[in-house]
Chain A
Amino acid sequence: MNPSTATTSPQAHESIYAGGLKSWLTTVDHKRIGVLYGVTALIYFVVGGVEALIIRVQLASADGTVVGADTFNQLFTMHGTTMVFLVLMPLSAALFNYLIPLMIGARDVAFPRLNAFSFWTFFFGSILLNLSFFIGDPPDAGWFGYANLTSKQYNPGMGIDFWLLSLQVMGVASIASAINFTVTILNMRAPGMSLMRMPLFVWMALVVQVLMLLAFPPITVAFIFLLFDRFFGTHFYIPDAGGTPILWQHLFWIFGHPEVYILILPSFGVVSEVLPTFARKPLFGAPFVIFSGILIGFLGFGVWSHHMFTTGLGAVADTAFSLATMLIAIPTAVKIFNWIATLWGGHIRFQTPLYFAVGMVSLFIIGGLSGVMHASPPVDIQQHDSYFVVAHLHYVFFGGTVFGLFGGIYYWWPKITGRMLGEGLGKLHFWLMLIGMNLTFFPMHFLGMDGMPRRIYTYAADLGWDQWNLIATIGAFVIAVSVLVFYVNALKSLRSGAEASGDPWDAATLEWTMSSPPPEYNFAEVPRVNSARPYWLHKYGPTRDISTRTRADGTPAQPEHPTERVDLPSPSGWPILAALALTGVAGGALVGLPAVLLAGAVLVFAVYRWAFQPLERVGHPTFGPDS
């Protein structure tokens, strides 16, 4: 990354990832940070997957003896926590980071160093969580950590402390990145890109940022209460002393249900980009899809107690939360019908991203419909905490989020790496994952109807649960093979994949107007946007466009070189130091007060230096004629 190199030759483009370890540790480039998020998430995907496989092996037959009761509880706790916070959220963050500036015509995010801080805080927080394995005491109270099982009395070990402190740290990362991307999307759009001309993926990202901004404070409060209970002997959740464990359930699910939409809406956004591209049509009813997404996010804050129908909140509360939950089915259905209508009348090209997008739609329908079933409290009190819910949530998170995000990975991989993924291996990955997914999770509906509770490490032989459990375990290994196929495909592509052009899918949005991978400065020339599908209109001629209601001109491909001087922010080491120190403050709580104070002092120092360091210093990257 030599700042004085002001060329945009293809070699220079590939070199946006060149540079030593230091360049990655101090980077403030949204593209590199996106790659860091993605690589980290894909590594944790293996960790969480292995945890799931051990769980499935243990349950493959009755009276399993592979792991003991405590280990099993630790495994499903870490599996849930890992998949939610270390895989699905950062994988979405990877796509947000890489793509949002490219899709809105910006050269970076609003706060590049805060962006680096977010990533490193997440990264160190995730390490803190997994350190609990090495002290031999991982958390074991479930990813939902219901009080008062997490109290010092019933959980004296350090596992819960690791869990709550690391999630608290990662919450800081999420809030910081939510602020960053909200500001970026609202303020950094290219001239002419009104909100209604914004790509659907960016729209869903915006809704997700607002959800994160509003959902993380309640869980932060919940964690602080728990922290005080465990470290300072307060009684927020201790019933013997007048506290109430139910308070945790409310605070957790006020976060937890919006969190579901934080996990699924990015995938909705991906599908809303992929389907139009491969059907070669605009997204059907785009404004309705946008407002449905907003409505889902809004309603998501009013339904938390549908996780608590067995808690005993009474008939009126159950009714209110049940009806509110059912309402969410309406915007969700609107989205699904619009996706089908997008395919309707198209010339559908069957390439891997489309497979995953369609897979996402068809699997999410199942998860959505089983969700409608337990929106009804009378049904839910039979399904709650049974394997039926395990099936439901995996159809939403695996069928919905993972398939959707893989669709996004296959779709944007050429843009990010400059190389194509193999189509054959991609389709093999898809079919194996589809089969494995249904083999694993569909039988869980039957297990739930047959009364098998969740989170049990063993079950008796004479209940008829063995056969479906065995099939689910086989399915889990099919999924594992499919993921392996993906990693092989990815490595092959990086080593010897076909080179990708700037616009390999003949797509409509701004990120395809530049080379693959994009130059460090993204846009040689700030694009002017007259339409929701700027590049498509440029290629296929002006047509009537929904966002202008008139004939609109498109936006041409980017010129080879910047026409005017482009200044980019300098790398900085302070964000990573601040992130490390922040994690040190949290981790230090497990060691002692001196450690907390020391880390706190480093944190103050790092933030101070960061605050007074100019964004662009001598030798900062510049491009273009006057550089």
Chain B
Amino acid sequence: MRRRPENQRHPLDPGRGRGVPFDSRLRRLTSTRRIGTLALFPRAIHVVVWIRLLRPLETVSRERPTLVKSLPGTLLLLATGCSVAEPSAYSTLQPVSDYGRLVLDVYGDLFWWTAGIFVVVELLLLYALVRYRGRDGDSGVPDQVHGFTALEIGWTLIPAAILFFIAIPTVRTIFQLHGPPPDPDPLEITVVGHQWWWEFQYPELGIVTANELHVPVGRTTHLTLTSADVIHSFWVPRLGGKRDLNPGSENRMWFTPTETGVFYGQCAELCGTSHANMRMQVFVDDTAAFEEWVASMRQPAVPDSAGTMTFLISGCAACHAIDGSPAQGKVGPNLTNMGRRTTLASALIENTPENMAGWLRNPDSVKPGAMMPDLNLDDQRIDDLVRFLEGLR
């Protein structure tokens, strides 16, 4: 557990919040624009009335069950054809974390600036084309105007000024996102990318699992990201942006989920044949459900000895580990409590006995290039293995 010294204040820290429960501090800092220690720019610049009016509806109460918290978001969601009642699984515009919220705030700013510039400039172009179209038979020569310096200075300064307004929230948010997690006691998780699956280690809890990440709502999760082979990129759009998993070095990222639910993600950096099949699910649980999951992972289902024997003699243990059994392979995903997972093969298919049998029979047909070899298991062996693995719950 890493605690920050009192005098080293996080840029997001509201300052007065020491005694206040973290959850409500979190709500404050995600629901209003905070100017932290990095507020190099006068706040007055921000009070541009019209953009205020159009800004994301950030004063909306967190309690109100609005899925769409920003006006640009609403427009874009309508454009993307999503029903407002049913949030899109991968939407970048419906964040469910403080981190995603910070990102969307800048996104909203930039959307409005660029949309406004787009309309103005295209209209100017269209106007010029219509207004100054040549008439048939008109062979005259228009005034040969070469330029006008005042105009040039004007349309150099205007974009520069607009960029100033874009740069302020950008720079502030860069430092917020790269800063340490807002919660001084975050849940530490190490994410290791593999071709083509995700390994999730909870070093403080002694848990190792794969492809299905469980995190509690309202508590900051602090990810340490690295890779076992090539570069991957961790991306769960509704939790925020992406961060690369580089072999040989570590990246960090944090987010505090604000809603419970299952959120989807997948690898965002080309990593080989089955890059498209490297998916994951993030379960944001309420505190009780998360505690229950942690307990179940720390006291896992005891593998029965007959099934364990099948697992070992089939060769599975060369790569896979099951906690509480002699199987301790480290190359492939840890299969502890496999029966409780909802998906197989890095969230590609539902976890059903039929799907698992199909996966064991021919991994390559489910996930092209899969590192799991086809062990030529006979049907009886596959049945035994499926029963054994599905029973780990």
Contact = CB atoms under 8 A, between A and B. Distances in A.
A489 B93 CA distance: 45
B364 to A, nearest CB: 10
Contacts of A501: none
Interface string B140-160: 111111111001100110111
A369 B248 contact: no
Contacts of A336: 121
Contact of A450 (B90, B134, B269, B369): B90
Interface in B233-261: 233, 235, 237-238, 240-244, 246-249, 251-252
Nearest to A337: B155
A491 interface: no
A449 B80 contact: yes
Given A149-B270, A154-B272, A453-B235, A281 B145 contact: yes
A383 B268 CA distance: 10
A336 B152 CA distance: 11
A363 to B, nearest CB: 10
**Residue of B152, B173, B179, B249 with most chain A CB atoms under a 10 A cut-off:** B152
Interface string A438-463: 00000000111111111111110011
A385 B118 contact: no
B112 to A, nearest CB: 11
A456 to B, nearest CB: 3
Chain A interface helix/strand/loop/mixed: helix
Contacts of A540: 141
A288 B269 contact: no
Interface stretch (B99-107, B298-306, B383-391): B99-107
B142 A373 contact: no
A463 B82 CA distance: 10
A284 B92 contact: no
How many B residues touch the partner, as a band? Answer: 35 or more
B351 interface: no
**Residue of B146, B151, B243, B247 with most chain A CB atoms under a 10 A cut-off:** B146
Contact of A463 (B88, B110, B113, B235): B88
Interface stretch (B1-9, B21-29, B163-171, B289-297): B163-171
Interface in A376-397: 376-386
Contacts of B156: 330, 333-334
B178 A318 contact: yes
Interface in B23-58: none
Contacts of A148: 230-231, 247
B271 interface: yes
Interface string A318-359: 110011001101100110111011011111111000000010
Contact of A286 (B146, B171, B233, B271): B146
Contacts, number: 296
Given A314-B178, A372-B114, A446 B125 contact: no
B203 to A, nearest CB: 20
Interface string A273-293: 000000111101111100000
B132 A343 contact: yes
Nearest to B236: A451
Contact of A73 (B174, B266, B273): B273
B368 A346 contact: no
**Residue of A148, A310, A369, A451 with most chain B CB atoms under a 10 A cut-off:** A451
Interface stretch (B205-213, B274-282, B307-315): B274-282
Interface of A: 68-70, 73, 141-142, 146, 148-149, 154, 239-240, 244-246, 279-282, 284-288, 310-312, 314-315, 318-319, 322-323, 326-327, 329-330, 333-334, 336-338, 340-341, 343-350, 358, 361-362, 365-366, 369-370, 372-373, 375-386, 446-459, 462-464, 467-468, 540, 543-546
9 contacts: A70-B273, A73-B272, A284-B148, A326-B163, A349-B134, A376-B110, A380-B241, A457-B276, A464-B80
